[in-house]
């Protein structure tokens, strides 16, 4: 295979809802470019994409698939991304390492929630978009309606370049208004018959051609002037205008294809090769130091590893993009993240499971290698005199969490090892060993996402696992001032134990002043702060510890022990055993014994005095509240809102966004446990949501009482 220069390489992400036909399109493109000899099918389980056992079991894409084609002297690197929202990590990765997105639309359904989700990501990453209407041979396909939906959602930027003469099972021809030709196919598809536009279609085609010329001209002043003078542009000028419009997202071309019959695929590839921006024409990526790195072959070598997969009979395959310079087989590089040395022993360009050996790849290109010693997803390998590090891929927050356990406890260590390896393949799986909840948590994008993990664990790795409801990380705090004292005294021959601590607790808010006097039962307690420690707690909030001892009733050397005892109780609050937060503690008095006082005595006295005061200070449980944004079709808005209100949600606002309604709410984490499943059920899979932590808020009294009773009952059973 020839070595492609940076200005001959185009990197493209293939996006679209589940069922839009991406995998079938990939087969047709690879077949047309000669990478494969025959087209596979999803039904036959022999496609280039979706070759992992879990994908063949479920019949949908779980992983993104990297592939390449060579067409008209250009190299098109493409990444076929899963359509389901649960596997959005693949799309996020692909959009970060490619330069243009082709967004497939199922001709019978039009714009779906997956279309909207993927388009939002192209907006976020500022990527050019080409819409591709597929499955024109479906009897329910209505191209005009799809075009109307696109214009309604994305406005006048939608510009058709092709339209079918007729949709449905008999589809076999379309009009291309850029080339002003009719394309038609024999039943086997492939090479088109190109003819003049028939008279009955000419008026419609001319009208659309004029709109296309105007849209192309708008992106270049010279072209605009020429258009005003001549009212037309040459084919090359139109391509240039479209390329410029694509690059700044002022124009979204619409193409047609019937991937299943291999109709329109060659023309699509021709357009991608001719018009899509080259790697060198896209904005530069910045490294972690904020320096712009150009895809320049004359710069030092930098490879960014964006994907890892564990493949049958091979093991770990590492996929990379050449960020700068060039890489050759046998090059020795340094891992900027881990400090280790690596040799690139073998290098490939890939088409799913098919690999073609190459000896060199240049800046902007995408390739794969195997048998690296110590390279993880997200690492950078550099050549001599280069210190680049890249960290530009940011994944969405998790939306679904379950506690995970090995059915056989002896498999726990093996399970953890496999989970960490799986995370290399899909970084949207987040594994957490929660000391607080005493559970191993798996965070993912939805129930589907975690169900796939379970299937792989049990079928591929032969480790049986079970999911459980995760505990909620509640917090405990106080709402009023309270005082307590406690004497710890123990005598058992020889030196005993003695320590007495008097303290005051109160709710703490940032910047609040320290009163000089506290009153309890008519008695005044004067405070003189001798020392203040402000501790930012690992679990959020603060503990402020004030030493107000006068007259030496407790020696200063025992104060750290008292604080240690209080911290031990903060880690296991008295109401439910949850972490406590936002408390100020003032130690104002106590007693020592010249012989029996020691650190353990004051630690226990401090812990018990704090515990008693906490219980008398109007203790309350706080629950985690999340900001939730739901994107829902307008006809399901009422049902979704009703469901949220049943989850103790506070609706913060509503707005319309590209044909979908956006609902913003604050919802307790406890109520979000199975929300992804419920939302899918209510809307038939047409809605999506994102969530992120907002704050801790007081739990309603009835829910608090129930929680405390459950905790007390559990404590009794354990005793």
As a whole number of angstroms, the distance between CA 81 and CA 127 comes to 15
Lowest-confidence range among 399-403, 647-651, 715-719? 715-719
Whether the predicted pLDDT of 566 surpasses 70: yes
Higher pLDDT, 58 or 228: 228
Output the DSSP codes for 603-621: HHHHHHHHHHHHHTS--EE
Adjacent-strand bridge partners of 1: none
Q: Where are the alpha helices (DSSP H) in 173-220?
A: 199-217
pLDDT at site 48: 67
Work out the average pLDDT over 660-684. Answer: 90
Gap between the Cα atoms of 586 and 506, Å rounded: 9
Reduce the DSSP state of residue 73 to 3 states and report it. coil
Per-residue confidence at 283, pLDDT binned at 50, 70, 90? confident
- The Cα 694–Cα 259 span in angstroms is 45
pLDDT range class, residue 313, cuts 50, 70, 90: confident
Question: What is the residue whose two structure tokens read 């240690």?
Answer: 564
Rounded to an integer, the average pLDDT of 612-627 is 94
pLDDT at 448: 87
pLDDT at 54: 64
Name which of 50, 113, 68, 42 is nearest 259 in CA terms: 42
Higher pLDDT, 113 or 139: 139
pLDDT band at 279 (very low <50, low <70, confident <90, very high): confident
List beta partners, residue 489.
498
Q: How confident is the model at residue 685 (pLDDT cuts 50, 70, 90)?
A: confident
The model's pTM = 0.83
pLDDT score for 468 = 94
Section 146-159 average pLDDT = 93
Taking phi first (over 0 means left), then psi (-120 to 50 degrees means alpha), and beta for anything else, what does residue 189 get?
Answer: left
**Distance between CA 251 and CA 238 in Å, rounded?**
12
Return d(Cα 234, Cα 305) in angstroms, integer: 42
Per-residue pLDDT of 27-61, as tens digits, reads 899 999 888 888 777 666 666 665 566 666 666 67
In whole angstroms, give the CA distance from residue 114 to residue 118.
6
pLDDT of the residue at 573: 86
Mean pLDDT within 222-230: 75
User: Residue 56's pLDDT is what?
Assistant: 64
Q: Which residues pair with 441 in a beta bridge?
A: 403, 432
- Predicted pLDDT of residue 83: 86
Question: What is the rounded distance in angstroms from the CA atom of residue 373 to the CA atom of residue 368?
Answer: 14
Predicted confidence at residue 358, as pLDDT, reads 95
Can you list the positions of beta strands (E) in 228-339?
A: 252-256, 285-286, 292-293, 302-311, 315-324, 326-328, 332-335
Report percent pLDDT > 90 for the chain: 68
Confidence (pLDDT) at 217: 86
Regarding predicted confidence, which is higher, 58 or 349?
Answer: 349
Q: For residue range 196-215, what is the model confidence (pLDDT) as tens digits?
A: 999 999 999 999 999 998 88
| Mean pLDDT across 120-146 | 94
Per-residue pLDDT band for 131 (boundaries 50, 70, 90) equals: very high
Q: Contact at 8 Å (CB) between 302 and 323?
A: yes
Q: How confident is the model at residue 171 (pLDDT cuts 50, 70, 90)?
A: very high
Strands 430-434, 439-444: parallel, antiparallel or unpaired by DSSP? antiparallel
pLDDT per position as a tens digit, 381-435: 999 989 999 998 999 888 899 999 999 999 999 999 999 988 988 999 999 999 8
Taking residues 631-643, report their average pLDDT.
Answer: 90
Question: What are the tokens at 127?
Answer: 């990527």
Q: How far apart are the first and last CA of the chain?
A: 72
pLDDT (mean) for 352-370: 92
Task: Classify each residue of 294-307 as buried b or exposed e, where b means 16 or more C-beta atoms within 10 Å of its C-beta.
Answer: bbbbebebbbbbbb
Give the integer Cα–Cα distance in Å for 81 and 62: 8
Question: What is the pLDDT averaged over residues 154-178?
Answer: 94
Q: For a pLDDT cut of 70, what percent of the chain falls above it?
A: 96
The pLDDT, as a whole number, for residue 697 is: 93
Average pLDDT, the chain: 90
* 706: CB partners within 8 A, 6+ apart: none
3-state helix, strand, coil split of the chain in percent (to 5) is 30, 30, 35
Q: What is the pLDDT of residue 117?
A: 86
Residues 6+ apart with CB under 8 A from 87: 61, 62, 63, 81, 426, 428, 445, 449
Confidence of residue 712 (pLDDT cuts 50, 70, 90): confident
SS3 21: coil
Note the pLDDT of residue 495.
Answer: 73
């Amino acid at each position: 295979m020839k070595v492609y220069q940076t200005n001959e390489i185009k990197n493209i992400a293939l996006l679209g809802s589940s069922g839009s036909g991406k995998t079938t399109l990939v087969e047709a493109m690879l077949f047309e470019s000669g990478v494969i000899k025959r087209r596979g099918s999803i039904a036959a389980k022999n496609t280039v994409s979706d070759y992992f056992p879990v994908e063949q079991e479920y019949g949908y894409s779980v992983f993104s698939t990297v592939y390449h084609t060579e067409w008209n002297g250009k190299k098109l690197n493409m990444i076929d991304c899963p359509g389901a929202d649960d596997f959005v990590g693949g799309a996020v990765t692909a959009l970060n390492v490619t330069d243009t997105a082709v967004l497939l639309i199922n001709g019978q359904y039009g714009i779906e929630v997956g279309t909207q989700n993927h388009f939002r990501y192209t907006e976020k990453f500022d990527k050019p978009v080409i819409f591709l209407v597929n499955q024109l041979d479906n009897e329910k396909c209505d191209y005009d309606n799809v075009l109307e939906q696109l214009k309604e959602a994305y406005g006048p930027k939608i510009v058709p370049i092709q339209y079918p003469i007729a949709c449905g099972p008999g589809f076999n021809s379309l009009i291309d208004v850029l080339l002003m030709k009719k394309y038609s196919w024999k039943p086997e598809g492939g090479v088109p018959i190109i003819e003049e536009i028939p008279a009955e279609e000419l008026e419609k085609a001319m009208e659309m051609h004029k709109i296309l010329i105007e849209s192309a001209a708008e992106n270049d002043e010279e072209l605009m002037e020429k258009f005003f003078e001549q009212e037309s542009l040459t084919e090359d000028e139109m391509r240039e205008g479209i390329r410029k419009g694509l690059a700044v997202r002022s124009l979204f071309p619409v193409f047609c294809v019937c991937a299943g019959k291999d109709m329109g695929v060659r023309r699509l590839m021709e357009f991608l090769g001719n018009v899509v921006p080259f790697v060198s024409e896209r904005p530069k990526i910045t490294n972690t130091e904020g320096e712009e790195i150009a895809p320049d072959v004359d710069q030092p070598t930098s490879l960014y590893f964006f994907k890892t997969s564990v493949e049958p009979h091979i093991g770990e395959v590492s996929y990379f993009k050449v960020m700068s310079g060039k890489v050759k087989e046998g090059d020795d590089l340094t891992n900027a993240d881990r400090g280790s040395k690596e040799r690139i022993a073998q290098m490939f360009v890939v088409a799913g499971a098919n690999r073609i050996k190459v000896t060199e790849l240049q800046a902007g290109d995408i390739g794969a290698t195997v048998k690296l010693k110590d390279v993880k997803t997200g690492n950078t390998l550099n050549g001599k005199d280069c210190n680049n590090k890249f960290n530009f891929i940011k994944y969405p927050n998790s939306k679904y969490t379950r506690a995970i356990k090995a059915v056989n406890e002896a498999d726990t260590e093996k399970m953890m090892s496999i989970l960490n390896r799986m995370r290399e393949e899909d970084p949207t799986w987040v594994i957490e060993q929660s000391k607080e909840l005493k559970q191993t948590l798996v965070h993912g994008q939805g129930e589907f996402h975690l169900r796939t993990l379970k299937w792989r664990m049990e079928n591929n790795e032969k480790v049986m696992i079970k999911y459980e409801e995760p505990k909620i990380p509640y917090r405990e705090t106080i709402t009023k001032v309270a005082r307590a004292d406690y004497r710890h005294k123990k005598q058992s021959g020889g030196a005993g134990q003695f320590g007495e601590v008097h303290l005051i607790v109160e709710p703490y808010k940032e910047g609040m002043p320290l009163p000089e006097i506290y009153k309890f039962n008519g008695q005044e307690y004067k405070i003189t702060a001798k020392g203040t420690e402000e501790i930012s707690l690992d679990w959020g909030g603060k503990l402020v510890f004030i030493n107000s001892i006068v007259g030496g009733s407790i020696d200063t050397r025992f104060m750290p022990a008292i604080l240690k005892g209080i911290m031990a109780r903060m880690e296991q609050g008295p109401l439910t055993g949850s972490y406590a937060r936002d408390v100020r503690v003032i130690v104002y008095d106590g007693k020592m014994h010249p012989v029996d006082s020691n650190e353990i005595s004051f630690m226990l006295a401090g812990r018990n005095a704090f515990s008693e005061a906490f219980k008398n200070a109007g203790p309350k449980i706080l629950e985690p509240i999340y900001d939730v944004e739901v994107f829902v079709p307008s006809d399901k808005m009422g049902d979704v809102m009703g469901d949220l209100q049943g989850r103790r949600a506070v609706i913060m606002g509503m707005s319309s966004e590209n044909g979908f309604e956006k609902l913003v709410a604050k919802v307790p984490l406890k109520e979000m446990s199975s929300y992804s499943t419920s939302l899918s059920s209510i809307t038939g899979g047409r809605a999506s949501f994102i969530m992120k932590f907002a704050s801790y808020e007081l739990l309603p009294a009835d829910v608090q009482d129930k929680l405390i009773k459950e905790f007390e009952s559990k404590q009794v059973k354990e005793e």
